[in-house]
Amino acid sequence: MSDIALFKGLTEEQITAVTDQSPIVCIIAGPGSGKTTVLTKRIAHRATKHQIAPKNTVVITFTNQAAQELRTRLATFNLYDLPWIGTFHAFAFQVIRKYHEERRTHPPLLITSKPREIQAMLHDSRDLKGLISRSPSSSSETSKLSHLVIAEIATEIENAKSEMILVNDYLEWYRRTNRQSSIGGDVLAEIFMAYEARKKKLNRIDFEDLLLVGGDILVDNTSFAATFRWWYRHFYVDEFQDVNRPQIRLLKGLVGDNPDLCVVGDPKQAIYTWNGATPGILLNFDQTFPRAQYRYLTANFRSSPEIVDLANAIATSFEDSDLSRRGGVIYAKRQGGSMPKLLEFENDENESKEIAKSIYESITDGRLANEIAVIARTNSLLPPLAEALSSLRVPHQILGGEQILNNNLVKSTMKHLKEVLGPRGRLQDAIVEIDNLIKEFENDRNSQKTEESLEYLRSIALESLRFDPRMDIYGFTTYFKARANDIGSTKKDGVTLTTLHRSKGLEWPSVYLIALENGILPHSKSVTPSAYEEEKRLLYVGITRARDNLILSYAKKRGSSNKFRSPSDLLYPIEELVTMGNQKLATKEVALSYIRQNRKMLLEPHKSSLPQGIDPIIDTLLLWRKTKALAEAKEDRSILSEVTLEAIAASLPRGIDELNRIPGVSTHFSITYGRELLRLTNGLRKASKSRT
């Protein structure tokens, strides 16, 4: 493929990233900047120039779906071979398998379910069961439900391994980082040690061990590592902001001392710190790989300028200055669109009904259902919206919801409810039981995923209770199974309901961000400075999923509690960039009357008395903006933002060139309103001189 064909449609910064000859390249790619296009075209460019051999090339990403997309895109370049494409864990498995093949030894078996393995271990050990029974949770509700304890243990082991904490160092780490657990750090340390000993005895490894064992093999066996590096010489890593320390160690072992490495990522979208992935790993890439060259993709092809402005406002609120230094702000390549809206509701029921109604009307007006997404902080916030959409017969799917309903924790909880309350027990009592379980984890910062799974189950129970107020446990079990199957069925033609975490990497023309309240976003457990910063990055991710329309909402009350909920503090940086969408535009008659009333002021301001506000020039420009908005049935800020308006007031441009130099003045605005606005600014200049 020729360079002309390969570079067609690329921007200058994209071409620079594709053609950079440096052996180590770090591409900081903002949302909607075409990073996948750049990554695949860089591979294709180097392959066609015979700088790399595809069969000796590895492309690492984080999901099988992303890997398949990369395969599909690379196939379009008609390369004579394709690289190995897969996840970190899949490649680590290849390392382990080849290592044991060379030594003709049996590779360890992979544990498919850590909770089941832990449960089997506890079942076989009277001493370990005794430890748990003597732990702080022995008199609590949690002790009745051993699967919750097992889920907590499994999660804590995963967290420790993602931070590369060895089993002998676990207790010190637990205390140093002020971690919390219903069974206590001492008990966890004993169980962790027994779990590792059991795996070694049975020649087994778990999912996290794939990275750790693969890294150990490459570090400790130099001859094997050298052979492996001879075969795999060129490495590309997508979504690098999501890597953790074990993955970095594995990668360093793979590339060796003379790496040919290209990584792509966005530190502003680092939202998996619970898995050990922090923005610092990407921000400090040149410290890990000292000869690295940075390239930046800042043009956003996805979202309207108004949505990009919102994203930049959130980004400027980040406390870490390196997030601005590495990548800076993004800018929109598209023309203007509609202003994002912020909706306020009295309660969550009204929020669900009104948003479902808005979606229904949007579909009626011609928008396809699969072009719309509703995004929330957690899965438990989505069932009420799903119910409201169902009542209007709007097709929809909860992305990933079936995984929660079918996970071991939720299934074990359902089994527990049947054992405690009986099949004919009241569903109201089951909800109380679930509430008691949730309370057990309210003060535990490390149990967020467990708590969210239980809250999601509770929301499904409430949904079924509204369906049938007399429903018992037997009926709920049937409803639960049907709901799991329904959620699991893919409705590609339906509205997508998903969480902020699951939305990353996706996009839709219309996006609703719901439940933007303190305690939800930011989450009530995000109490440390670093956790609070991650909540900002989550909002940044949510905003940048939207292409054309963005609706944000919050409710004053949520659930059965009468406690007042305040709008999220994270909204402060964008207050001036959104409109309160509940307000309707004025009628045409009102607009014409307003324009006639102020016509003389706008046409001949130097002959009129300027407004007596704090700044009469700004007040006059605001008046002009209002008349334009009313005449065109638009919102004020869709004509001109406050920041740009203030810049115009400060400079009072004399001509088109001066007007175009003002930040925020687009070519479209200049062509549409430029001459009229210049007449006004010239009049204002004369008026201000006559006043002095």
- Cite the beta strand spans of 84-195 per DSSP E: 84-87, 109-110
Bridge partners (DSSP) listed for residue 109: 204
Query: Does 36 appear as a known binding residue?
Result: yes
Query: Is 364 annotated to bind ligand?
Result: no
Mean pLDDT of 44-71: 91
The angle, 0 to 180 degrees and rounded to 10, between the axes of the packed helices 146-162 and 245-255 is: 40
Q: Which ranges of 392-528 does DSSP label H, i.e. alpha helix?
A: 401-405, 408-421, 427-439, 448-467, 473-488, 500-503
Q: Residue 183, SS3?
A: coil
Max avg pLDDT among 525-529, 544-548, 632-636:
544-548
| Overall average pLDDT of the 192-215 stretch | 94
Lowest-pLDDT range of 227-231, 294-298, 301-305: 227-231
Residue that has been written with the tokens 């296009």 in this structure:
37
Quick one: CA dihedral 226, 231, 232, 234, positive or negative?
positive
H-helix or E-strand containing 25? Answer: strand 24-29
Q: Which of 155-159, 219-223, 434-438 has the lowest mean pLDDT?
A: 434-438
Q: Is the pLDDT of residue 580 over 70?
A: no
Model pLDDT, residue 587: 41
Confidence of residue 255 (pLDDT cuts 50, 70, 90): very high
Is the pLDDT reported for residue 2 higher than 80?
Answer: no
Structure token digits, residue 188:
């966890």
Residue-level pLDDT at 588: 41
Dihedral sign computed on CA atoms, order 259, 264, 266, 269: negative
Mean pLDDT of the chain: 83
pTM score: 0.75
Residue 480 CA to residue 493 CA, distance in Å, equals 24
Q: What's the whole-number mean pLDDT along residues 498-517?
A: 94
Ligand-binding annotation for 401, yes or no, is no
Residue 324 has pLDDT above 70, yes or no: no
Distance CA 618, CA 607 (A): 17
135 is in an annotated binding site: no
Selected residue with higher pLDDT from 290 and 463: 290
CA dihedral 282, 285, 287, 288 (to 10 degrees): 100
86 is in an annotated binding site: no
Query: What pLDDT, on a 0 to 100 scale, did the predictor assign at position 402?
Result: 55
Please check if 32 is assigned to a binding site. Answer: yes
Q: Which of 129-138, 193-202, 310-319, 377-386 has the highest mean pLDDT?
A: 193-202
Strand partners, 261: 24, 235
Residue 29 DSSP SS3:
strand
Q: Please indicate if the annotation marks 29 as binding a ligand.
A: yes
Most confident range (mean pLDDT) of 15-29, 166-180, 608-622 is 15-29
Q: How many CB atoms lie within 10 A of CB 16?
A: 15
33 carries a ligand binding annotation: yes
Mean pLDDT of 29-56: 94
Residue 443 banded pLDDT, cuts 50, 70, 90? low
Phi, psi at 340, each rounded to 5°: -60, 150
pLDDT at 581: 57
Cβ-based neighbours of 9, under 8 Å, separated by 6 or more: none
Tell me the three state secondary structure of residue 221: coil
Average pLDDT estimate for 533-541:
95
Contact 494, 397 (CB under 8 A): yes
Termini Cα distance of the chain: 68
Structure-model confidence comparison of residues 127 and 250, the more confident one: 250
- DSSP per-residue letters across 77-112: TT-SS--EEEEHHHHHHHHHHHHHHHHT-PPPEEPS
Question: Does residue 489 carry a pLDDT above 70?
Answer: no
* Mean pLDDT confidence for 459-474: 77
